Structure 1
Amino acid sequence: MINKKNIVLVLFSVFALTACEDYLDIENTGSQLATEDEVWQSRSAINSIPLRFYDTMEWMAEIRLDSRGGLKRQEQETGKNYGNIEVFSGDCIFLRPRAVHDLIYKGDYVQAQNQIFANPDINWVWYNSWECVFLANQILDRIDGVTTDIMPQREIDQIKGEAYLFRAFAYHELHKRWGTMPYFKFRIFPGSDLNLPRPTNKELIADIVADLDQAIAILPEVSYLNDAENMGRMGKAAAMALKSRALTIAASPNSTLNNQKDTELWEQAAAAAWDVIQLSQTSDKVGLYEGDYNEIFSTLPGTIEGLWPRFDAKKTPNIYQLTWQWQNVYSGATGLSPSQEVIDRFETADGWPINHPNSNYEEQNPYINRDPRFYKDVLYHGAPWIKRAEGDLIDMRTDPTTGEDRSKPPTFGNSTTGYLARKHIPERFNRIQYPNRTEYTNAPYIRMAEMYLNYAEAVNEAYGNPSATAPGASLTAVEALNTIRNRVGHVNVRPEFTADADAFRDVVRNEFRVELCFEYHSWFDILRWRTAKEEIHQNNKHGVFIIEDASQPTGVRYERFEFEQNRIFQDRHYRYPIRQPDLEIFEIPQLTQNPGW
C-alpha cells in the first residue's frame, strides 16, 4: 500500500524510473540502475510499465502477494470491496464486526475513510486512482518517442491506448465518489502547478470521453480473453464499455447541475451504449452469453459477456478462496446474506412485481413462480443445492432457541437473513462433497448486460418514451430490457409498465438491481439516482424467520423480522468527503471540500 500521508511525494518516488522493479523490468548493471532514457529504449521494460495499471485496481480486485512479494496480476480475489458495497446499499447484511460498516451506518464518513482494514472503497480508491493518473501521464509523456525499431507499432498502440483508458477509468471512479476532480493531462514533477479548479460535470465527462475515444481508436483488439501473451489486458471493447458507464453516471441526477435532467448527456449515453450493442451484433468476442447464466461468473478466461473481464485463478474450496469471501455455503464462511428487500425485487414468473394485486404472490409459499434469475442468484429455504448427494436441499429453518438458521454453526458465518447469495458460486463448489475440485471464478468489472440496461435507461430519459430508439439504432428501450430478460427465460416487460417514461423508469431501475445484484453496482446506482436517502435513511432492512408449521403449504411459516441498523443518510452523503490531510498535501486551494463536510 502507498504511504497515505504524502501521496504526491510518494508518487514521485514510486514512479521514478530508476527506483522500482515492480513498475519496470530494470536490469542492475553493477551498482548502477538503468536511466530513464535507457528504460525507454528497452522493449521488455516498456511493456512492463502498463502492467501497473492493473495493479492499481487492488481496491476492487484485492490482488494477492506471492511468496516472493510479487503481485500475481491474474490471480485476483474479488475482495472485500464487493462485500462493503453490498452492505452500504443494504442489499446484504453482515454480522461480523467491521468498523467501516458501523461508521457508514452512522453517516460518519470522515472516520470511516480513516479505517484501513477491509475498507477499499472509502480509503484505497482515492490513492490508487491518483497513482493511475500519474502513471498514465508518465507514459503519454514518453510513448510517442518510442520507434518501431524498438518495438512493433501494435505494442506501442496497446500501451498508449491503455494509458488513455486507465486515466479515464481513474477519473470515472473518483467522480462516482468525490465528484469532479482537476483533470491533469501533463506529467507531474516536483514543483508542477497542480492548482487547477474543479471542472464542471460536463467538462469532466468531455475529458473522460476524449481519452476513451483516443483509446478506442488505437487499442488493437476487441478482447484479449484468449490471447496467451496479453491475457487479462484490455482492448477496444473495455474502452467502449467504460464510455457507456461514465456517460451514464455523468447524465444521472447526482452529477448534473442542480440535479436536473440533462437531455444532451442522456443522448450521448444512449449513443455510447448502442455502439457497444452494435459491435456485439457482428463480433464473436463481445455479446450476451447464451449458455447457463452461472457460467458467466465461473469460467476462465470468461465468456463473451465480460467487456472488461476480471478473473480468479483456478482453486479448490477454501474459506478465503471463493468470490467475496462469504459464499462457501457448507464451510461456515458466509457472513454476508441478502436482505429481504433484494428478494422482493424479483418479479413473479409472469412479470408482475410481487406487491401488485395481479401477481398471485403467496407470502407462505414465496419461492415458486419467480423470475428465473432468482433461482440462479439466491439460495433460499428448499433450494436444490448439492451438499453430499444429488437432491439435497438448502435447510434454512430457524432454530427456536438461537433464532439462527440450521444450515450453519452459530457464528457470523450463518445466513443472518434466511438467504445466501448463490451468484458467482460454481454448481459443485463446496469442500464437503468436492474437497479436491477446482473451479474458476470471475466477476467482470463491466459486462454486456449493463450495456442494454444503460441503453434502455438513457433512451427513456433522453427521449421520454420507452418505445423510442437512439438515432441510427434498431432497438427500443423496451426491447433492450426484454433482450436481457429473455436471455434467462424471463417474460417481456408487461405492457402496463411501458406506457410512459415514469412507469418505465421504475422498471429499468429494478432491472439494474436484479440483473446486476451482488455485482458491485447497487450502492453506486442509488447514489447516482439520488434515491439513497429515501431508501436508506432510518429504513431498516429485513430478513425472514422460517419456523416449522404443519398448517402451512410448505410445512414452514415465514415471518419477516427487522434489523435495527438506525441508518443515517443525509444529502451530504451523496459525495464522500476528501480527507483534510489530502487537501493540504495536494496544495490545491481550488480543490474544495465537498458540500456538507
Structure 2
Amino acid sequence: MKKIIFLGLAVLLFAGCKKVLNPEPEDLKSLDQMYTDVNFAQGFLVTAYRNIPGYYDNSEYATDDAVTNQQNNTNANLRAYTELATGAWSSQNNPASVWNQSYEAMQYLNLFLENSNKVKWASDPEAARLFNLRMRGEAYGLRGLFMYYLLRNHGGIASNGQLLGVPIVTKYQDINAPFNLPRASFDACVKQIYKDLDSAEVNLPLEYNDISNNAQIPDRFKKYTGNFDTYNRVMGQYGRQLFNGLIAKVIRTRTSLLAASPAFQNAANPATWADAANNAAAIINYKGGVNALPATGVTYYANASEIDNLASGNNPSEIIWRENIVTNDATQENQHFPPTLNGANTTGAGYMNPSQNLVDAFPMANGYPIDNAASGYSAAAPYVGRDPRFAKYIIYNGATAGVSNTVIRTGSASGSDDGINARPGFSTRTGYYMKKRLRMDVNRNSVGANGKTHYNPRMRYTEMYLAYAEAANEAYGPTGAGTQGYSAYDVIKAIRKRALGLSADPYLEEVKGDQGKMRELIRNERRLELSFESFRFWDLRRWKVDLTKLNETVRGMDVNGTVYTPLNNVETRAYQNYMYFGPIPNSEILKYNMLLQNANWK
C-alpha cells in the first residue's frame, strides 16, 4: 500500500470525467487506468482508511473528566476543545466536526464501488474474484463507519423539530450531481448503516486468519475458490488490520446503542435497547462469553511484553481493531508525562489534567462509592484503599511514575515543575496527570532517552461488554437475560471482578434490584473503563444528562504535605440546552438551502 500513487486522486474525485488533463501523464491518472493498475485502484480504499477519525481525540478536555494545560497555546488545535467547552462552540467553530473528512472518504468509496468490478485484481481468476469481493466488503464497511460518525456528531433535532440524520450519498458525485441534498431521517441513516454493514459481512471473514486445508474454507467463499492457498492469499493473515466482519459487528453495536439512547428516542425512531443488547452479545459470544473478558484489558496500553511481541498483524486479546504499531515512539509520553519525567521535551508536557470529578468517580477497593458510608473512604487520606484502576490511570500527588519510579509532587508549594500551575503549558492545573495511554518504561530525560512500541486502538472488547450491560439493563432490567442467557448484572460483575479483584461485590448486590441504580453504576463503569479514550463527550450527550451535569465545573485538588485543599473552580463549562447535538457546518448550510441546521445553532 505504501507504493500507491495518490497524485491525481483529488482531481479524479471532483472532475467527474473519464479523462483527466494530460500534460503530466506520469502524475495524473485517468479512471480507466484504475482497471489495470491495482495499486491505483487500492488507493481509493487507502485514502478512506486514512480519513478514519483518531481514537484519542482528547475531547475529554471538553467534559467533566479533564482539562488541558494548553489553553493558551498558539496552536489552535491544542486549545480547540477548551474553547468549545467554554463558550466558543458554534457551527463555524467545531473541532468535533467529521463532516468534510467523512463525505470526502465516501466519495472515494462510492467511486471505488462503482468501478471495482472492472479492475483486474490478479492474473489468477479465483484470486481476482476474492480480491474484488474483499475490497468491496471493506468499502461497504468503511462507508457504514463514516456514516456512523456523521450520525453521532451531526444528527439531531433540526430547526423544523424533526429528528434528522445527514444526507445519504451512495453514488459518486461528479460535477453534474445534485449536491443540494436534504438530510435524511435519523432512522433512514441507521438503516443505511445496517445495509452497508450487511454487505460488508457477506463479503468478509470475521477475522483474517490463515487456514491449513480446503475443508476450512468458510462455506460462503467456497463458490469462489476451493484452494486454501488462494483463500489465504486474499482472506488470510496478510489482511489483518483491514476492515473485517467483526469490525462491522462493532459498528452495528455502536449504531444501535446510539439510536436507542435517550437523546434519540423519538416516535420516528424505532430503535430498541434489545436490538443494541443483541448486537453487542454477538461479539461477546464470539469472544467466548461473559467470562472471556480479557484479563489484561485494564492496562491494554502498557502491557509491555504483549505490545513488544506483536507480530504478523496480530491483536492483543483486548483489541478488536487497531492502528499499525509504531516502534521507538514517545508521542504520548512527550505530550502527557509530568514535567519532571519529560526532560527531553522543551515544547510541552502534562497536557491532559484529570479532574477531581473523575477521581471521585473511582470507588474504593471494596467496590463502594466514596460517598457511601460502607466505603471506608477518608478525606484525610483520599488516595488510600481506592479502586486499583485509579493508580493505573491517574498520577496523583505522591504517586511514583517513570522508569526511575520518580515521586511526583503536584502541590502548589511543592517547589517542583510538577506542582499546580508552576510552569504554564507544562504543569498540571488540577493536581493530577494522566497515566493511562502512557508506558512508564519510556524514558524522556536527556540521558538515555528512548521510545517504545505503541499502537492506538480503534475498538476494544471491553467497550462491547459495557454496551451490552447498558442496553440489557434498559431492555430487561439488571438481572434479566433476554435471549442471551446472561444479564447486565453478570457482565458488570465480570468487569468489576477484573478491575477490583473482588470475590464478593456487596455494592453490586445492593444495586442489582434497582434499574436506576444499576444504570448509574454501569455508566460510571463505562466512564472509568473508557476514560481518556474519547467516549465521554458523546456519552453525556446521547444519555441527555441534565444540563447542570453537562456544565459541571471541573475541580482539582492541591495537596501540600497532609493538607488537602479542594480547587472548586478549575474550569467552567458553558453549554446551552441545544448542545446535545452537534451542528451541521455553517459553510454547508450557506451553500445548500435544502440542508437544515440542528435547532438553535448559529
**Pairwise TM-score range, normalised by the shorter structure:** 0.7 to 0.9
In the alignment, what sits opposite 1:423? 436
Question: How far did residue 433 of structure 1 move?
Answer: 8.4
Check conservation: 1:244, 1:272, Cα contact below 8 A: yes
Matched, 1:47 2:52: no
Check conservation: 1:386, 1:393, Cα contact below 8 A: no
Distance 2:141 2:246 in 1: 11
Question: How far did residue 543 of structure 1 move?
Answer: 0.5
C-alpha change, 1:46 and 1:111, in structure 2 (3 Å) is closer
Question: How far did residue 147 of structure 1 move?
Answer: 5.9
Distance 1:337 1:350 in 2: 26
Question: How far did residue 176 of structure 1 move?
Answer: 1.2
Aligned partner of 2:272 among 265, 272, 277: 265
In the alignment, what sits opposite 1:71? none
Distance 2:386 2:16 in 1: 53
Distance 1:518 1:324 in 2: 16
Please list, as runs of the form range in 1=range in 2, the aligned pairs for 1:452-471 lying within 5 A after superposition: 452-463=465-476, 465-471=477-483
Distance 1:29 1:383 in 2: 61
Aligned partner of 1:248 among 257, 262, 282: 257
C-alpha change, 1:362 and 1:163, in structure 2 (3 Å) is same
Matched, 1:352 2:368: yes
Check conservation: 1:468, 1:477, Cα contact below 8 A: yes
Distance 2:544 2:485 in 1: 31
For structure 1, the 5+ residue unaligned runs are 1-8, 21-26, 62-77, 549-555
Check conservation: 1:428, 1:434, Cα contact below 8 A: no
Matched, 1:395 2:402: no
What letter corresponds to residue 272 of structure 1 in structure 2? N
Aligned partner of 1:219 among 204, 209, 231: 204
In the alignment, what sits opposite 1:107? 87
Question: How far did residue 392 of structure 1 move?
Answer: 3.8
C-alpha change, 1:16 and 1:266, in structure 2 (3 Å) is farther
Check conservation: 1:28, 1:34, Cα contact below 8 A: no
Aligned partner of 2:595 among 564, 575, 591: 591
Please list, as runs of the form range in 1=range in 2, the aligned pairs for 1:17-96 lying within 5 A after superposition: 33-57=28-52, 59-60=53-54, 78=56, 82-83=57-58, 85-96=59-70
Question: How far did residue 209 of structure 1 move?
Answer: 1.2
In the alignment, what sits opposite 1:277? 284
Distance 2:15 2:419 in 1: 51
Question: How far did residue 476 of structure 1 move?
Answer: 1.0
Check conservation: 2:259, 2:271, Cα contact below 8 A: no
Check conservation: 1:15, 1:135, Cα contact below 8 A: no
In the alignment, what sits opposite 2:536? 522
Question: How far did residue 37 of structure 1 move?
Answer: 2.1
In the alignment, what sits opposite 1:476? 487
What letter corresponds to residue 362 of structure 2 in structure 1? F
Distance 1:228 1:573 in 2: 44
C-alpha change, 1:187 and 1:31, in structure 2 (3 Å) is closer
What letter corresponds to residue 189 of structure 1 in structure 2? D
Question: How far did residue 16 of structure 1 move?
Answer: 7.3
| SS in structure 2 of the partner of residue 440 of structure 1 | strand
1:7-30 Cα offsets, whole Å, 9 max, x none, are xx988338878779xxxxxx9996
In the alignment, what sits opposite 2:295? 290
Aligned partner of 2:385 among 356, 362, 369: 369
Identity among equivalent positions (%) equals 24
C-alpha change, 1:52 and 1:434, in structure 2 (3 Å) is farther
Distance 1:316 1:136 in 2: 32
| SS in structure 2 of the partner of residue 494 of structure 1 | helix
| Highest RCO, 1 vs 2 (Cα 8 Å, sep ≥ 6) | 2
| SS in structure 1 of the partner of residue 409 of structure 2 | coil
Distance 1:271 1:292 in 2: 22
Distance 1:18 1:519 in 2: 44
In the alignment, what sits opposite 2:509? 495
Question: How far did residue 287 of structure 1 move?
Answer: 6.4
Question: How far did residue 400 of structure 1 move?
Answer: 7.0
Matched, 1:572 2:578: yes
C-alpha change, 1:167 and 1:405, in structure 2 (3 Å) is same
What letter corresponds to residue 191 of structure 1 in structure 2? N
In the alignment, what sits opposite 1:553? none
In the alignment, what sits opposite 1:159? 135
What letter corresponds to residue 280 of structure 1 in structure 2? K
1:301-320 Cα offsets, whole Å, 9 max, x none, are 64132222125511244xxx
Aligned partner of 1:505 among 513, 519, 534: 519
Check conservation: 2:208, 2:238, Cα contact below 8 A: no
Check conservation: 1:316, 1:435, Cα contact below 8 A: no
1:477-528 Cα offsets, whole Å, 9 max, x none, are 1111122222234434621111121111111111110100000111010011
In the alignment, what sits opposite 1:141? 114
Question: How far did residue 423 of structure 1 move?
Answer: 0.6
| SS in structure 2 of the partner of residue 107 of structure 1 | helix
C-alpha change, 1:102 and 1:406, in structure 2 (3 Å) is closer
Matched, 1:176 2:181: no
Distance 2:100 2:278 in 1: 32
What letter corresponds to residue 477 of structure 1 in structure 2? A
C-alpha change, 1:176 and 1:35, in structure 2 (3 Å) is same
Distance 1:227 1:454 in 2: 29
Distance 1:102 1:48 in 2: 36
Q: How many residues align?
A: 533
Question: How far did residue 182 of structure 1 move?
Answer: 1.7
1:188-209 Cα offsets, whole Å, 9 max, x none, are 1222234443232222111111
Question: How far did residue 579 of structure 1 move?
Answer: 2.8
Distance 2:83 2:428 in 1: 23
| SS in structure 2 of the partner of residue 165 of structure 1 | helix
Check conservation: 1:103, 1:111, Cα contact below 8 A: no
C-alpha change, 1:386 and 1:56, in structure 2 (3 Å) is closer
1:331-351 Cα offsets, whole Å, 9 max, x none, are 161132000001011111111
C-alpha change, 1:297 and 1:524, in structure 2 (3 Å) is farther
In the alignment, what sits opposite 2:186? 201
Question: How far did residue 432 of structure 1 move?
Answer: 2.5
